[in-house]
Amino acid sequence: MVITLKPGTTEKGIQHVLDKIKELGFTPHVSKGAERTIIGVIGENAIRSREIFQAMFIVESVMPISRPYKLVSREFKSEDTVVKIEDVEIGGKEIVVMAGPCAVENRAQLLKIAQEVKEAGARILRGGAFKPRTSPYSFQGLGEEGLKYLAEASEVTHLPVVTEARDVRQVELVARYAHIIQVGARNMQNFDLLKEVGRGKKPVLLKRGMSSTVKEFLMSAEYILSSGNYNVILCEIGISSMRRGIASPWTTVPLKLAPLTSISPTSSSHTFFKLRISISAPIWRRISMKPRRVGFNPTSKIFNFDPFKIAAAPIKKEAAERSPGTQILAPEKESPPSTLTLRSLTSIFAPKNLSIRSV
């Protein structure tokens, strides 16, 4: 349940309510807004004790939370979350771009990319030192060596760093070098890992699982908040669909459900290095670009999917003639290499009343 205190309640009054909650065997979570203080009460059948708190003169209202997730709901916190990392505010008035290589491969590569993304206007550097791979034979990352390269790049460029921790045993190590700890899509329901990052003080970037519902996504965030860490950034990456080889377009978490900061990732593999970019906007809008439908022709294979270039392998004319209903996503020839700039991001994500650094 949620206890809303009257405006002007003193710290002594707040502490009195917290002590009573603990005395009853429940766990309190405090959210202080501009005018009111809200206390979330977590525990089985907590709502049965509502009369005790309704009798307190400093209590304005006591309401049950109907949703399964409590701390990430708008009932607990009505204001949007703004996560501050040094001089960067994620979820604030400006669009924040996080950019960098998918994996940290060597020192020279990372320092070069860090300088490039900073010049392009990025505010946060990302890169993987621990990489979860589908194949056990693929490159798994440089580990602590990669973390040291990230720390060096951060010192040179003055960009905060976000990188992934794959395991409970890696959280303390990653927190030593990074400003934001990322929990990847494959670990969205690694509950021990969620609790561990929740016990720390570093902001957490939580990616949505590859086949997870919005409810499951928010329940994973609930694990982090219930452990004491309220600086959570939701990363919507899209989910796997029944159409093999194609990811469903982003189905963003409606802001009316959760006040947490949300970002969306995209990537461009056409540049001279693989670049991952995450965009954070204070006004969350659905992506208006809807890819055209691709026919289920066995000769058609998607080899790239991103919001800036959506391309399909050329379909043989004979096959196309046999299946006239097939639609092609892009021209028959691959687009030439190009550099992704913030100008192209602005045209898609930036609301009209916001500004973004020019390239």
Q: What secondary structure, in 3-state letters, does 95-129 show?
A: CEEEEECCECCCHHHHHHHHHHHHHCCCCEEECEC
Per-residue confidence (pLDDT) for residue 336, from 0 to 100: 41
Per-residue confidence (pLDDT) for residue 111, from 0 to 100: 95
Least confident among 61-75, 101-115, 162-176 = 61-75
Instruction: Name the DSSP class of 131.
Output: -
**Dist CA 54 CA 50 (whole Å):** 6
Q: Return the structure tokens found at 270.
A: 């056409």
Q: If you write DSSP's letter for every residue of 262-283 in order, what string do you get? A: EEEEEEESSSSS-EEEEEE-SS
Strands ordered across the beta sheet of 27-32? 27-32, 37-42, 2-5, 59-63
| Pick from 243, 242, 284: nearest CA to 263 | 284
180 pLDDT exceeds 60? Answer: yes
Q: Work out the average pLDDT over 331-351.
A: 41
Per-residue confidence (pLDDT) for residue 83, from 0 to 100: 92
pLDDT bin (cut points 50, 70, 90) of residue 268 is very low
219 pLDDT exceeds 70? Answer: yes
Q: Which residue has the higher pLDDT, 62 or 291?
A: 62
Instruction: Name the DSSP class of 335.
Output: P
Q: Say which CATH topology domain 83-289+340-349 has.
A: TIM Barrel (3.20.20)
209 pLDDT exceeds 80? Answer: yes
Q: Work out the average pLDDT over 157-184.
A: 95
Q: Do residues 101 and 274 lie in contact, with contact meaning Cβ atoms separated by under 8 Å?
A: yes
Per-residue confidence (pLDDT) for residue 198, from 0 to 100: 95
Q: Work out the average pLDDT over 18-41.
A: 89
pLDDT bin (cut points 50, 70, 90) of residue 174 is very high
pLDDT bin (cut points 50, 70, 90) of residue 340 is very low
Tell me how crowded residue 218 is: count the other CB atoms within 10 A of its CB.
23
Phi–psi pair at 227, nearest 5 degrees: -90, -5
Buried/exposed 265-297: b ≥16 CB within 10 Å, e otherwise: bbbbebeeeebbbbbbbbebeeeeeeeeebeeb
One-letter amino acid of 272: F
Q: Work out the average pLDDT over 241-258.
A: 53
Phi–psi pair at 195, nearest 5 degrees: -65, -40
Q: At what angle do helices 214-226 and 191-199 cross, to 10 degrees?
A: 40
When mean pLDDT is compared over 77-86, 256-265, 286-295, the highest value belongs to: 77-86
Instruction: Name the DSSP class of 165.
Output: -
- How do residues 87-100 score in pLDDT, each as one tens digit? 899 988 888 899 99
**Dist CA 230 CA 31 (whole Å):** 10
Per-residue confidence (pLDDT) for residue 190, from 0 to 100: 94
The domain limits of the chain are 2-63, 83-289+340-349
**Dist CA 227 CA 160 (whole Å):** 24
42 pLDDT exceeds 90? Answer: no
Q: Return the structure tokens found at 301.
A: 């294979």
Q: Do residues 295 and 327 lie in contact, with contact meaning Cβ atoms separated by under 8 Å?
A: yes
| Pick from 209, 256, 254, 206: nearest CA to 230 | 206
249 pLDDT exceeds 80? Answer: no
Q: Work out the average pLDDT over 117-133.
A: 92
Per-residue confidence (pLDDT) for residue 223, from 0 to 100: 94
Whether this prediction's pTM lies above 0.75 is answered by no
Phi–psi pair at 189, nearest 5 degrees: -115, 30
Classify strands 96-100 and 275-280 as parallel, antiparallel or unpaired. Answer: antiparallel
Instruction: Name the DSSP class of 35.
Output: S
Per-residue confidence (pLDDT) for residue 93, from 0 to 100: 83
CATH architecture assignment, domain 2-63: 2-Layer Sandwich (3.30)
31 pLDDT exceeds 80? Answer: yes
266 pLDDT exceeds 80? Answer: no
> What average pLDDT is seen over the chain?
74
Per-residue confidence (pLDDT) for residue 341, from 0 to 100: 43
Q: If you write DSSP's letter for every residue of 169-217 in order, what string do you get? A: GGHHHHHHH-SEEEE-GGGTT-HHHHHHHHHSSS-EEEEPPTT--HHHH
3-state secondary structure 142-155: CCHHHHHHHHHHHH
Q: How many CA atoms lie within 13 A of 205 on its CB side?
A: 28
Per-residue confidence (pLDDT) for residue 248, from 0 to 100: 54
- How do residues 314-325 score in pLDDT, each as one tens digit? 333 444 444 444
pLDDT bin (cut points 50, 70, 90) of residue 56 is very high
106 pLDDT exceeds 90? Answer: yes
Q: If you write DSSP's letter for every residue of 56-107 in order, what string do you get? A: STTEEEEE---SS--TTSTTT--SPP-EEETTEEETSSS-EEEEE-SB---H
Per-residue confidence (pLDDT) for residue 312, from 0 to 100: 33
Q: Do residues 263 and 280 lie in contact, with contact meaning Cβ atoms separated by under 8 Å?
A: yes
200 pLDDT exceeds 70? Answer: yes
Instruction: Name the DSSP class of 55.
Output: T
